[in-house]
Amino acid sequence: MSKIGDLQEVVREFGPHLHDAPYDGWRADREIERMVPTHCPYCGMQCGLYLLVERGRVVGLEPRYDFPVNEGRLCPKGVTAYLQVHHPDRLLHPLIKRDGKFVRASWDEALDLVVARFREIQAKHGKDALAVYSGSSLTTEKTYLMGKFARVALGTRYVDYNGRLCMVSAAAANLKAFGVDRGSANPWSDIPLAEVLLIAGANCAETFPILNKFLWQQRDNGGRWIIVDPRQTPTARQGDVHLQLRPGTDVALANALLHVIVEEGLIDHDFIANHTVGWDEVRSTVARYTPQVAAEITGVPAERIVAAARLYGRARTAMVFHARGIEHHSHGVNNALAYINLVLATGKIGAPGRGYGTITGQGNGQGGREHGQKADQLPGQRSISNPEHRRAICAVWGISEEELPPAGVSVVEMFERMRRGEIRGLLSICNNVMVSLPDTNTVRRTLEELDFYVCIDFFMSESARYADVVLPGTAWSEDEGVTTNGEGRVIKINRANDPPGEARHDWWIVCEIARRLGRGKYFPFQSSRDIFEEIRLASRGGNADYYGMTWEKIEQNDGIFWPCPTPDHPGTPRLFEDHIFYHPDGRARFHAVEYEPPAETPDEEFPLILTTGRVVYQYLSGNQTRRIKFLVDQCPEPYVEIHPETARRLGIQDGERVRVRSRRGEGIFPALITETIRPDTIFIPYHWPEPQAANLLTNPVLDPVSKIPEFKACAARIERLKGGALPLYGARRKGASQSEA
């Protein structure tokens, strides 16, 4: 996190060495023509920055102090984000695979082939034989377009997005409890106003570094933290109470916290009576989850559970945040609902410093699921199964209600249908399934067996290598549009440079395929602004109502919080400030949830719990960050965290390469022996492809509601390799202590 002077020093030191691009990085004598205000392409903070442009090329960046989310701060990924733009790995021409090898093709040749094969597959196997898999690091205009393209141009029910691997458990819980899905009910500027923060399954220090600005402001105000995490992460080490639970036992822990709060009379009776439904069943359920019962299940001492419950329950103001650590489970929705019960029982929601939220992983994780590319949703966060919602969108799109397909299925279920031959072709954009989906071995076989696979990307990802056609799209600096950050703030991405070579705007590629399919009248867009104007109409009256926004209004106000239903509406930073929720009766819903163990628990053959997660120097599947030398130098490969007690029992030395096995696969990783992990648990970061992909090991079992895979808990074992120990990339990750890695 750098001020402008520090940032320039970093760029001067590392810029010329970060990549092999045909320009020389930062120079003091640069003649900068333009400073383009925009936002970082990575996480849901969407930090403000300026891109520096010289002779049409992005040559550097500087922070923006005028954007209230980051106020000039940037993490290591943000500082180096511009280096992806002109990277030598950029895809510059359409590619067609012939005899197992990619060859350069013209746009006409490539698009004609795509259209011919799509028509052939649908003529032979039906419209639902094609699927679309999109992403949430795209602008909202593109995410809207992908949902419309699947349903209107292809006529298929099968469309989903990679947020399915991220926030959908929280989204489903929000819809159940509040009737609306927004990642944070409060702006992040409320965080410093809270006396207590309860952060569950979120290592903000590494996955959301700039959020620490608000966390430390809260700390400076005398605030205290409760951290729930199986690892003693950098975030957990800063907390006042660390509840280091076994992976997958969150419901038992949250129920026990509420048990103590009830027993000690810390609930808000008036709020419960006037604004909620379902409390009696929850109270009856949590009565069985004493701290002693929860201690047996979670491994957290009972007295620590009591201390945490008192700290949260007695606080006048408090906020609860959670992330993938509690959501990547076969019971992820119930995990989130259990924490929401805490919030509702104490009435700590709606007011400044009294709130709830989930921490969004992807840059447009919120906007990416609001406007129609999610399998069961239509624009405006409408349900595709609701007849009234279907009629509203069909009227905007100009199609009959009979033409609009029904709900599809999640991406993991789509891949199951591909394996069964029900889906024969795939169009993907902004994802990398060979790194991000669980059970990589099965994913690979599925891609190999597809009749036809088209990938739109700006780098050749591990997944794109299996495609029949690769179409070169745009990096984030080469187009404009909006994204929605993790607090529900819609912000504007601005164009700084033209696409290189023959690369084309993603929206142009999709619209051109639609035109060649004979559906061009439904895709008349000549710019991304045209798409945004249709989003305004399509979202009007929905939960995620953008109708009152314009690009100019968004930029003039440092972003607009949705809903914003009319042109004179200022937006809605606090979603429930009036304590009116989005269910028809205006009341929030309690949900009684029982603890159920993960789908796979340790046994004699696989005695350890494997959990996965992220590191600060890499982003999601790594398709962008693994190309930037500075970031790679800091963390060049994944590792397996092992507790010293477990390492001694197995005879493993620090830095020794070991084999980790599960029922689905295996990988070889350097051992990082650290006391920050539980003795019964191991941890592997997931940003790398095979043969070191964490998802070679993970369990593809799904939450029954959200259909999210269980990335955070599966049974595993560690085996020593013959030949002795090998060093852990120069002993340790550069600049990291044993406990920081």
Model pTM score: 0.93
Residue 25 has what pLDDT? 47
Q: Are residues 336 and 351 in the same domain?
A: yes
d(CA 676, CA 39): 34
Give domain status of residue 725, yes or no.
no
What SS3 class is residue 254?
helix
Pairing of β 382-383 and β 377-378: antiparallel
d(CA 684, CA 577): 40
Contact 152, 397 (CB under 8 A): yes
Q: Are residues 181 and 115 in the same domain?
A: no
CATH number reported for the structural domain that contains residue 41 in this entry: 3.30.200.210
Strand ranges in 244-388 using DSSP code E only, listed in sequence order: 276-277, 318-322, 355-358, 377-378, 382-383
On average, the pLDDT of the chain sits at: 93
Give domain status of residue 251, yes or no.
yes
Scanning the structure block, which residue is given the tokens 């009341």? Answer: 587
Q: Are residues 73 and 187 in the same domain?
A: no
First to last CA, the chain: 18
Residue 360 has what pLDDT? 77
Q: Are residues 272 and 313 in the same domain?
A: yes
617: its two tokens = 């120097």
Residue 30 has what pLDDT? 66
Q: Are residues 287 and 189 in the same domain?
A: yes
Give domain status of residue 509, yes or no.
yes
Pairing of β 276-277 and β 588-589: parallel
Give domain status of residue 541, yes or no.
no
Q: Are residues 294 and 420 in the same domain?
A: no
Among left, alpha and beta (phi > 0; psi -120 to 50; other), residue 324 is: alpha
Q: Are residues 276 and 333 in the same domain?
A: yes
d(CA 143, CA 140): 5
Q: Are residues 621 and 669 in the same domain?
A: yes
Domain region containing 700: 608-720
Contact 207, 358 (CB under 8 A): no
Low-confidence ranges of the chain (pLDDT < 50): 1-26, 727-741
121: its two tokens = 């597959």
d(CA 731, CA 717): 23
Give domain status of residue 228, yes or no.
yes
Scanning the structure block, which residue is given the tokens 């007849």? Answer: 387
Residues in CB range of 475: below 8 A, 6 or more apart: 41, 84, 85, 90, 458, 499
Among 294, 323, 358, identify where a domain stops: 358
Instruction: Give the DSSP per-residue string, 40-79.
Output: -SSSTT--EEEEEEETTEEEEEEE-TTSTTTTT---HHHH
Residue 27 has what pLDDT? 55
289-337 per-position pLDDT tens digit: 999 999 999 999 999 999 999 999 999 999 999 999 999 999 999 999 9
171: its two tokens = 């989204």
Contact 203, 235 (CB under 8 A): yes
Give domain status of residue 454, yes or no.
yes
Q: How is residue 208 annotated by DSSP?
A: S
Contact 622, 10 (CB under 8 A): no
Give domain status of residue 456, yes or no.
yes
Task: Quote the number of domains for the chain.
Answer: 4
d(CA 43, CA 215): 17
- Helix (H) or strand (E) holding 206, with range, is helix 204-207
d(CA 598, CA 701): 10
Q: Are residues 11 and 120 in the same domain?
A: no
Among 332, 358, 384, identify where a domain stops: 358
Other Cβ atoms within 10 Å of 483 Cβ, number: 29
Instruction: Give the DSSP per-residue string, 351-365.
Output: STT-EEEE---STTT
Contact 429, 469 (CB under 8 A): no
Of 189, 184, 261, which is closest to residue 221 (Cα–Cα)? 189
CATH number reported for the structural domain that contains residue 233 in this entry: 3.40.228.10
Q: Are residues 204 and 310 in the same domain?
A: yes
CATH number reported for the structural domain that contains residue 501 in this entry: 3.40.50.740
Give domain status of residue 560, yes or no.
no
Contact 160, 526 (CB under 8 A): no
Packing angle of the helix pair 291-298, 250-263 (nearest 10 deg): 160
Q: Are residues 419 and 458 in the same domain?
A: yes
CATH number reported for the structural domain that contains residue 649 in this entry: 2.40.40.20
Q: Are residues 159 and 179 in the same domain?
A: no
Of 661, 650, 667, which is closest to residue 606 (Cα–Cα)? 661
**What does the chain come to in residues?**
741
